[in-house]
Chain A
């Protein structure tokens, strides 16, 4: 018997309104761990090939891993898996908070939502009592209002709610699913909710997650907590203080990556703002760090406005990318995104794209509907975010499609500076200052996500000659960190504990965590094989939908052809020749065909993925 899992998946069809509970085969748990692995396997089983993301055939999978609901530090995370309307491919969006702990305590490892309703609904899960309820009264509410409204309607503030705001309802392709004050931000899965007329999922559980070695877990929690509380910046600043160091190393995307040094970084960095604006620390379930900082503006036109963070990624996207260094304005923009249910990363990147197009004369004043979209114009940024989130006006409606689609329609060479990988707007980690990231983003299953591979944690400790001007060892680094991420995303542990659990590859601590929780003690080589199996299953899903090496070969043109013009990483870029050499080597060491990037038959058999081979 495996502890830690509930071995039950809840399947809800919004068309037929059927609700069934099914057992999860133990082979799925041992074979794929949970989280990303389990979700990928369910997706493989349930989603037809080449389905339209915005169709009743697409599914939404809310999935947990074995550690959710236990004391394992960093277990307050969850995943939403679906076919992304932004990237048109398999996607997983990671979020923090309390939802997945509650879902486990209600008795489920995963919830699969299929079909499409004609009227707005929300799903209530109260242990075994599962019900689809009308959302007509709450349709249109912003993402904060709706959570309160549902808790009030259900008469229990302890319900944990996952919801969409107006952007998801408007099928904005860069919309975010919101839980509490956090977001499953990336990939536009909120638009899938919106298409299905699913406003929210509310869950309440009264059970508990049984673990194999509770005493060992308690000791482990204390051991890790002691280290984590001494963290040099996360406890005090969260990620808000990362700005200045990234800037100092010349890797901070600025004005749509025209530069990687932002002169205003220190003005919006947490080291400047936290002492003045922080009002509260918040933590996800069972987290000893509490990296979330609530900051509130004290004076001026945004006085009283508060926001979560803004996290480093948001300070990048709504700050340095748009050239805005006024902290209250960045807070107001982030708050606007949260209420609308918009991904702050993608929103900032599309606004920055529009600003560059405007300054270059590609977008006219008329096309911008009266907005003067110069870099640094914070008021215009906030107004444009509102238009994007509600699909208002020609430009707002166009940018709501994401930067890849928008640039293909705007044309006039704007594709050159459309900063995305595989249709997903680029996160705040430089693919030029950290050359390995050009490969990491390109071979990630999501694209421009900073969670697919994590080379910067290692590469930024190296001199610029190594991190920005050499390709030696990069394919191996990306393979290793990708496999580590497979384990983290499948156990679903927070990235901030990666330093304690294993920075480069799956390791002994992962094995220990699995043993303490489930009673099963896979070796490091077994865990590595599971990680490979998960990545290869996702690769099979990609390939069957037409995403082979052709889809991997499209880094932003700016990354390939435009060296960083100034700062500590001056001159860095990834030439097409370097990129192709890294890509080919990566395929080889993954056991994929070096030309097509398709997993070789022997590799799939080695990983017990024979069932994916075409008969």
Chain B
């Protein structure tokens, strides 16, 4: 088993009601496995926040960082290691966010 830390920023923090989680996953788990686990824990509200309205893609506004590095497209298959920190936030920054478009 591996243990990863999940940090929640902005609306993710409001949806799950906390700053961070410790999540245990099987060895060789991917970011996608982690997201599935978070869906299981937090249900429909989390799913609606994370995915686009059709439910099959990550919302265009969502930004996932693994150990402070932005996950590029297709990054859901990236394998996680024990001690990794995954941050869920949005493309933001002061002015007009991309997130508004989705």
Residues of chain A whose beta carbon lies under 8 Å from any beta carbon of chain B: 227-228, 231-234, 236-237, 239, 241-242, 244-246, 248-250, 271, 312-313, 428-429, 450-451, 454, 456-458, 460-464, 495-500, 503, 567-568
**A66 vs chain B, min Cβ distance (A):** 20
Task: Find out whether the CB atom of B91 lies under 8 angstroms from the CB atom of A495.
Answer: no
Give Cα A96–Cα B93 distance, bound, in whole angstroms. 18
B98 contacts A by Cβ under 8 Å = yes
- Residues in A whose Cβ lies below 8 Å from that of B54: none
Query: How far in angstroms is the closest Cβ of chain B from A388?
Result: 24
Do residues A567 and B92 form an inter-chain contact, with CB atoms below 8 A? Answer: no
Q: Number of residues in B with C-beta < 8 Å to the partner?
A: 29
Distance, CA A15 to CA B51, complexed state (A): 62
Would A495 and B95 be within 8 Å (CB), given that A233-B10, A461-B63 are in contact?
Answer: yes
A504 to chain B, nearest CB (A): 10
Bound together, the chains give a CA A241 to CA B5 distance in angstroms of: 21
| Binary contact readout B51-84 vs A (1 if CB under 8 angstroms, 0 otherwise) | 0000000000101010011111000000000000
State the 3 A-B residue pairs at the shortest beta-carbon distance, nearest first.
Answer: A499-B100, A498-B96, A568-B68
With contacts A233-B10, A271-B9 known, is A457 near B69, CB below 8 A?
no
Residue of A nearest to B12 (CB): A232
Which residues of chain B are near A462, meaning CB under 8 Å?
70, 72
User: Which of B14, B61, B91 has its CB near the most chain A CB atoms (within 10 A)?
Assistant: B91
Are the CB atoms of B98 and A227 closer together than 8 Å? no
Known: A458-B98, A495-B95, A500-B101. A249 touches B68 (CB 8 A): yes
- CA distance in complex: A313, B95 (Å): 10
Pairwise interchain contact A460-B63, C-beta atoms closer than 8 A: yes
Contact yes or no, B93 A242, CB < 8 A: yes
Are A228 and B93 in contact (CB-based, < 8 A)? no
Which residues of the other chain, A, contact B95 by a CB distance below 8 angstroms? 450-451, 454, 456-457, 495-496, 498
By a CB distance below 8 angstroms, the chain B residues around A450 are 94-95
Q: How far is the CB of B21 from chain A (nearest CB, A)?
A: 16
Complex: chain B residue closest to A500, CB-CB: B100
Contact of A499 among B10, B13, B71, B97 (CB under 8 A): B97
Within 8 Å by CB of A242, from B14, B70, B92, lies: B92
Contact B63 A245, beta carbon cutoff 8 Å? yes
Contacts of A429 in B (CB 8 A): 93-94
Q: Is the CB–CB distance between B9 and A496 below 8 Å? A: no
Given the complex, which residues of A lie within 8 Å of B69, measured CB to CB?
Answer: 463-464, 568
Shortest Cβ distance from residue A488 to the other chain B in the assembled complex, whole angstroms: 9
Chain B residues 5-62 with CB under 8 Å of chain A are: 7, 9-11, 13-14, 49, 61
Complex Cα distance A429/B13, Å?
Answer: 24
Check if A428 sits within 8 Å of B9, measured CB to CB: no
Q: Report B-chain residues with C-beta under 8 Å of the C-beta of A497.
A: 96, 100
**Complex interface: chain A residues within 8 A of B71 (CB):** 463
Flag if B99 contacts A499 (CB, 8 Å).
yes
Residues of B that sit less than 8 Å from A by CB: 7, 9-11, 13-14, 49, 61, 63, 65, 68-72, 87, 89-101
Distance in angstroms between the alpha carbons of A228 and B93 in the assembled complex: 16
> In whole angstroms, what is the CA distance A366 to B14 when docked?
50
Instruction: Tell me the complex Cα distance, A499–B98, Å.
Output: 5
- B11: which A residues are within 8 A, CB to CB? 232-233, 236
Chain A minimum-CB-distance residue to B75: A463
A228 touches B68 (CB 8 A): no
Q: Which residues of B contact A568 (CB under 8 A)?
A: 65, 68-69
A245–B10 contact, CB under 8 A?
yes
**Residue in B63, B68, B100 whose CB lies within 8 Å of A496:** B100
Q: Nearest-CB distance from B98 to chain A (Å)?
A: 6
B93 & A460 in contact (Cβ 8 Å cutoff): yes
> Cβ of B94 and Cβ of A456 under 8 Å apart?
yes
Could you list 24 A-B pairs, sorted by A, with CB under 8 Å? A231-B99, A232-B11, A241-B9, A244-B9, A245-B63, A245-B92, A248-B68, A248-B87, A248-B89, A250-B68, A271-B9, A313-B94, A456-B95, A461-B98, A463-B71, A463-B72, A464-B70, A495-B95, A496-B95, A496-B100, A498-B95, A499-B97, A500-B101, A503-B98
Pair B98/A457 contact, Cβ less than 8 Å? yes
- Min CB–CB distance A27 → chain B (angstroms): 30
How far is A606 from B100 in the complex, measured between Cα atoms in Å?
A: 35
With both chains docked as a complex, state the minimum distance between the C-beta of B15 and any C-beta of chain A, in angstroms. 10
Determine if B68 and A457 form an interchain contact, defined as CB atoms under 8 angstroms apart: no
CA of A454 to CA of B95, assembled, Å? 8
Rounded to whole angstroms, the CA-CA distance of A250 and B70 in the bound complex is: 11
Complex CA distance for A498 and B100, rounded to whole angstroms: 8
CA distance A461 to B72 in the complex (A): 8
CA distance A460 to B71 in the complex (A): 11
Given A245-B90, A457-B91, verify A503-B96 contact (CB < 8 Å).
Answer: yes
Contact B93 A271, beta carbon cutoff 8 Å: no
Interfacial chain A residues near B100, Cβ < 8 Å: 227-228, 231, 496-500
Q: Which residue of chain A has its CB nearest to the CB of B60?
A: A461
**Closest CB in chain A relative to B87 CB, distance in Å:** 6
* CB neighbours of B89 from chain A (8 A): 244-245, 248
Known: A241-B10, A271-B10, A463-B72. A246 touches B99 (CB 8 A): no
Chain B residue at minimal CB-CB distance from A498: B96
In angstroms, Cα B68 to Cα A568, docked, is 6
Shortest distance from the beta carbon of B89 to any chain A beta carbon, whole Å: 5
Q: Is the CB of A457 within 8 A of B93?
A: yes
Q: How far is the CA of A239 from the CA of B92 in the complex (A)?
A: 9
A248-B87, A454-B96, A503-B101 are contacts. A461–B70 as well, Cβ < 8 Å?
yes
With CB as the reference atom, state the residue of chain B lying closest to A239.
B94
Q: In the complex, what residues of A have CB within 8 A of residue B9's CB?
A: 241, 244-245, 248, 271
User: Known contacts A236-B14, A237-B10, A250-B68; is A312 also within 8 Å of B94 by CB?
Assistant: yes
Cβ A499 vs Cβ B93 within 8 A: no
Given A242-B93, A498-B95, A498-B100, output 4 extra A-B contacts at Cβ < 8 Å: A231-B97, A248-B68, A463-B70, A464-B69
Query: What's the least CB distance linking A257 to chain B, in Å?
Result: 16
